[in-house]
Structure 1
Amino acid sequence: MGKRVASRSRPRNGRGVRLPVLLLVLVSLCGGVALARYGGERGSRTGSAAPGAGTATGRATAAPPPATVRPGPTRTPEAASGKRSVPRSGTGTFTVARASGAAVGSGGSLRRYRVEVEDGVAVSARAAAAEIQRILAHPRGWAAHGRGRFQLVSEDADFVIRIATPDTADRLCRENGMDTHGELNCETTAGVVVNLRRWVLGSPTFAGEAAEYRHLIINHEVGHEIGLRNHLGCPGPGRPAPVMMQQIKGLNGCRSNAFPYDEEGIYISGPIVS
């Protein structure tokens, strides 16, 4: 009897006991989730807790910490484009090229020049002096056509050719009343100031290598040095630009040109613009 009574009072398959328990668990879980969501949202509104941070229920999962962003090195536009990088400023002091050579030229006054390069830049003063010496001796240059004779010296110079960082070049040019905007070269009472950026990178308007553009820099500024004060304009579409034209400011239909004379020895001129 006892066994049969016990058998009748036991729920079939245990459903009578398990169903209420299951419902209670589900209700508890839903209530906890709702409380966790309310607590997280409130925290984000009041600023007391970040979205997803733990609440009083302990059910929300803390958000992972933000990833650490490590700043990379500052890159100049030249470095970003894959070109050689040029420092914006330097020491303001210069190294004199300890080099000298024979005078070049077929006539005119002798002008002795010294080459200096700002300290701390990746340009050798001696190598720069040798390159300038070759430029002034070029068969399409000033010296080859009777506009003067030039001699590289390391002291007792008549004028100086300085290669300087953009900031230093600006300062030297500004002392002589010229604003070069960190981009241009100039000719001063002491001589020629060459912007390091132009020496290393050339010009975006010049269709040629930087080494060829250096001919234009030296020929243009030395042109001022020998007395050609005016700038020239383009003589006509498709024709070579004069070296006394400010080619970096635009060619106006002309072709890039780095030499005062053409291959036949004819001076490349144009209309006076300033």
Structure 2
Amino acid sequence: MGLALGLCLVSGASAVLMVSVPEPGSDAGSSEETSASGPMGDGVPDEGSDRRAAPENDPVAESSTGANTPSPSPSPTEEELPVLLRSVVEEVDTADGDLKVVEGEGEVMGEGPLTTFAVEIEEGLPGEDEDFSDAVEEILGDPRSWGEDGDRSFQKVDGDDADIRVLLAAPDTVDRLCAPLRTNGYVSCANGNRAIINQNRWVSGVDHFDDDLETYRIYLINHEVGHTLGHGHVNCPGDGEPAPVMQQQTLGLQGCEANGWVHP
């Protein structure tokens, strides 16, 4: 995606690592990676706040309706849009609470040891399930993602034994699945082998990405999947540099340039 978006719970034989979470704007500490094995996310919004809605975009100026005003160009259909820009729908607070796996098995993408992933969607969310699933597959299959140089290959599956599960959910459900990490209806997280994506961030991004929703979506998937692969947070290496994908870019860029790829 500092917050290591980790915590230590012990229940029976299971253990979850917990790492303290800085407030937005605080010194994130060393740029070294931290271990990542439990709830990991993009930090916690200000205590007591609930930042479910993304900051509003600049309002679009109303045009006059005079006779000489040209007609607006028709909007492209969903099929004409790039995969990473489809299903830009309204934000929600809640959905049905039930999760469903997007069916279908994809091709093996890349070289190296195979990592399988399943895509899960909370029922009742607006948008098309296939749009999110196709976007995840396109991102993880890109050589700039986690599989470069033959480190690993990826394949989408729909079974219960997938190595990673990438999940899109409403803020209330994200808060529940990410607990005890406080996501406050705003940020995403990873918990165990689940990369849990906040639907509001997926459809609206964040203001400091300057309306570049495609880059933000790439970052969001690669960052949370990175946690499931054991990567912790890092800081911006220097002004004007591409932000490392494990930097908490949802909270700020620290002088770096927005970037979604592991190997840009």
Report the TM-score when normalising by structure 2: 0.64
Letter in 2 for 1:213: Y
- Residues 97 and 219 from structure 1, CA distance in 2 versus in 1: closer, same or farther, beyond 3 angstroms? same
Q: Secondary structure at the match of 1:136?
A: helix
Moved more, 191-200 or 115-124: 115-124
Aligned to 2:122: 118
- Amino acid corresponding to residue 236 of structure 1 in structure 2: G
Is 1:254 paired with 2:256?
yes
1:237 and 1:252 in contact (8 A); partners too = yes
Name the one with the larger strand percent: 2
* Runs of 4+ that moved beyond 4 A: 76-84
Q: Distance between the aligned counterparts of 1:126 and 1:85, measured in 2?
A: 17
5 Å matches for 1:58-207? Answer: 84-107=89-112, 109-155=113-159, 156-174=161-179, 177-207=180-210
Amino acid at match of 1:238: G
- For each residue in 1:192-222, what CA deviation from the matched residue of structure 2 results, as whole angstroms up to 9, or x when unmatched? 1000011111122223522221110111111
Tell me whether 1:215 sits opposite 2:212 in the alignment.
no
Q: Structure with the greater relative contact order (CA < 8 A, sep ≥ 6): 1 or 2?
A: 2
TM-superposed CA distance for 1:190, in Å, is: 3.9
Alpha-carbon distance change, 126 to 164 in structure 1, aligned in 2, over 3 angstroms: same
Identify, as 1 or 2, the structure richer in helix.
1
Structure-1 residue corresponding to 2:63: none
- What is the SS of the residue equivalent to 1:223? helix
Q: Which of 1 and 2 has greater Rg? A: 1
Range moving further from structure 2, 242-251 or 89-98 = 89-98
In the TM superposition, residue 225 of structure 1 has moved relative to its aligned partner by 1.7
Whether the aligned pair in 1 keeps the contact of 2:187 and 2:198 (CA below 8 Å) is: yes
Report the CA distance shift for 1:171/1:258 in structure 2 as closer, same or farther (over 3 A): same
Q: TM-score, normalised by structure 1?
A: 0.62
Quick check: 2:215–2:258 contact (8 Å CA) kept in 1?
Answer: no
Partner SS for 1:187: strand
| Structure-1 residue corresponding to 2:233 | 231
**Which ranges of structure 2 fall in alignment gaps of 5 or more residues?**
1-52, 61-87
**5+ long unaligned stretches in structure 1:** 1-75, 263-274
Letter in 1 for 2:209: F
**Aligned length in residues:** 183
